[in-house]
């Protein structure tokens, strides 16, 4: 089969690999029909994620058709169209029982923090991902769901991560009716978080980024006010000015460890690896939220020390909430919103690229070329 293969930072290509085999009775093999590239894949692509092994296949957003099932699989049959959440989890451990699917205790021998994630380095279990023609889906009775007939395949694909994560980011904000919600980052996760904030009762939604074409998307898709942080002297002061000098009720960080906007942070993180990443968006969030407010962190950060303004967070009495999204937990509500016509997730997709040309897809998305917001990988 053809699969995307990592060959080192900024080097990915398509190679021939064996079709994965059933390794455990509850495995399924899924023939991938659509996959996507996530902002999280860029951290791997840029060589920022520890233990990203050469030869591995990325891809944690994918849908497909069940090709083979192990002998204990009961919920799926060959031929079923399935959407697969980006988390691999057992569904029965202490954490899964609390709904913390992304923190499953049984699927990742290398870490006590994150559980299993498809195609997301050996720090997330070392599983191969779905940017390929076939993928092994462990614990097939737990993660995947059959795609309802009425659901557009690209909407199903968005449910596997970006949409569920944006929605989860808004949920963790504990938005109260009328709240002012500021979202840092107008990528797929930020756009979905901003749109979700309205569904949860926000009174105002402001999106911050430095890419004008993405801010335009934030206005059109998420009905948000926007600020280009390069066009104001100080984005925190600007946000304070726009919120009666109190600050936002809720901030959502949809940027993560590769934030732009502060050269010193960038150099110490990206160049000298002195920090696990540049926490500039997170620090702006801590500064821009009001005292007693909530900062929801969806942006991904490495485990190492970063110069986060934790003292300010403490002294302002902030609530900081974060996790890798337990994607499937959001599905029931998201399906309702999509079916009722309140949400059309596929509207954020800008590029559809065949698997053979995935290297170009990574390059476009990483360098933010050709107004790229979200890239779908096709296999037929």
Ligand X SMILES: NC(=O)c1ccc[n+]([C@@H]2O[C@H](COP(=O)([O-])OP(=O)(O)OC[C@H]3O[C@@H](n4cnc5c(N)ncnc54)[C@H](O)[C@@H]3O)[C@@H](O)[C@H]2O)c1
With CB cut-offs between 5 and 8 Å by kind, which of Zn ion, ligand X, none does residue 279 bind? none
With CB cut-offs between 5 and 8 Å by kind, which of ligand X, Zn ion, none does residue 90 bind? Zn ion
Distance CA 145, CA 30 (A): 12
Distance CA 197, CA 219 (A): 14
**Minimum CB distance to ligand X smaller for 31 or for 210:** 210
**Minimum CB distance to ligand X smaller for 23 or for 312:** 312
Report, in Å, the least distance between residue 161 CB and Zn ion. 4
Picking from 342, 374, 61, 350, the residue whose alpha carbon sits closest to that of residue 222 is 342
> Rounded to an integer, what is the distance from CA 160 to the centroid of its chain?
9
With CB cut-offs between 5 and 8 Å by kind, which of Zn ion, ligand X, none does residue 73 bind? none
Backbone angles phi, psi at 355, to 5 degrees: -50, -40
With CB cut-offs between 5 and 8 Å by kind, which of ligand X, Zn ion, none does residue 190 bind? ligand X
104 binds Zn ion per the rule CB under 5 A: yes
With CB cut-offs between 5 and 8 Å by kind, which of Zn ion, ligand X, none does residue 43 bind? ligand X
Residue 3 CA: distances (Å) to CA of 77, 128, 130, 226, 249: 24, 10, 8, 38, 44
**Minimum CB distance to ligand X smaller for 38 or for 73:** 38
The token pair at 49 is 């994620």
The four Cα atoms 193, 221, 336, 327 give a dihedral, to 10 degrees, of -40
96 binds Zn ion per the rule CB under 5 A: yes
Report, in Å, the least distance between residue 370 CB and Zn ion. 21
Report, in Å, the least distance between residue 222 CB and ligand X. 12
Distance CA 106, CA 257 (A): 27
**β pairing state of 28-37 and 134-137:** antiparallel
Distance CA 319, CA 314 (A): 9
Could you tell me if 313 and 305 are in contact, meaning their C-beta atoms sit under 8 angstroms apart?
A: no
Residues at the site binding ligand X, with contacts judged by CB under 6 A = 38-40, 42-43, 161-162, 165, 184-190, 208-211, 214, 229, 254-256, 259-261, 280-281, 298-300, 324-325
Q: Which stretch binds Zn ion (CB under 5 A): 17-25, 30-38, 253-261, 350-358?
A: 30-38
Instruction: Supply the DSSP string of 128-196, one letter for each residue.
Output: --SSBSEEEESSTTTS-EEPPTTS-HHHHHHHTTHHHHHHHHHHHTT--TT-EEEEE--SHHHHHHHHH
111 binds Zn ion per the rule CB under 5 A: no
Among 40, 57, 108, 243, contact with Zn ion (rule: CB under 5 A): 40
**Minimum CB distance to ligand X smaller for 118 or for 229:** 229
93 binds Zn ion per the rule CB under 5 A: yes
**Minimum CB distance to ligand X smaller for 27 or for 253:** 253
**Minimum CB distance to Zn ion smaller for 44 or for 197:** 44
325 binds Zn ion per the rule CB under 5 A: no
161 binds Zn ion per the rule CB under 5 A: yes
> Could you tell me what percentage of the chain is helix, strand and coil, using 3-state DSSP and rounding each to the nearest 5?
30, 25, 45
181 binds Zn ion per the rule CB under 5 A: no
Give contact residues for Zn ion (rule: CB under 5 A).
38, 40, 89-90, 93, 96, 104, 106, 161
């Amino acid at each position: 089969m053809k699969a995307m293969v990592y060959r080192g930072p900024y080097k990915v290509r398509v190679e021939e690999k064996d079709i994965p085999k059933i390794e455990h009775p509850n495995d399924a093999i899924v023939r991938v029909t659509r996959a996507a590239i996530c902002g999280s894949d860029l951290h791997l692509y840029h060589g920022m994620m520890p233990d990203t092994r050469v030869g591995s296949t990325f891809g944690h957003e994918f849908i497909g058709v069940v090709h083979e099932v192990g002998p204990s699989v009961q919920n799926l049959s060959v031929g079923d169209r399935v959407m697969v959440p980006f988390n691999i989890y057992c569904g029965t451990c202490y954490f899964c029982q609390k709904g913390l699917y992304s923190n499953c205790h049984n699927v990742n021998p290398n870490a006590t923090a994150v559980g299993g994630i498809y195609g997301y380095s050996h720090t997330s279990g070392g599983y191969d991902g779905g940017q390929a023609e076939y993928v092994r889906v462990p614990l097939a009775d737990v993660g995947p769901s059959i795609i309802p007939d009425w659901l557009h395949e690209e909407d199903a694909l968005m449910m596997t991560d970006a949409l569920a994560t944006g929605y989860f980011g808004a949920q963790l904000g504990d938005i109260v009716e009328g709240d002012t919600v500021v979202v840092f980052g107008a990528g797929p996760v930020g756009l979905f978080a901003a749109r979700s904030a309205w569904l949860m009762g926000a009174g105002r939604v402001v999106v911050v980024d430095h890419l004008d074409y993405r801010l335009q998307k934030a206005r059109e898709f998420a009905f948000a006010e926007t600020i280009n942080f390069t066009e104001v002297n100080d984005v925190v002061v600007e946000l304070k000015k726009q919120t009666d000098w109190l600050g936002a009720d809720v901030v959502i960080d949809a940027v993560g460890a590769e934030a732009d906007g502060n050269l010193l942070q960038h150099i110490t993180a990206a160049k000298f690896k002195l920090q696990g990443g540049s926490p500039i968006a997170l620090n702006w969030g801590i500064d821009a939220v009001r005292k007693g407010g909530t900062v929801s962190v969806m942006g991904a950060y490495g485990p190492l020390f970063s110069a986060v303004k934790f003292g300010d967070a403490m002294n302002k009495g902030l609530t900081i909430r974060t996790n890798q999204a337990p994607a499937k937990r959001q599905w029931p509500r998201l399906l309702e919103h999509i079916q009722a016509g309140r949400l059309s997730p596929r509207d954020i997709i800008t590029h559809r690229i065949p698997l053979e040309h995935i290297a170009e897809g990574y390059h476009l998305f990483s360098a933010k070329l050709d107004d790229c917001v979200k890239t779908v990988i096709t296999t037929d």
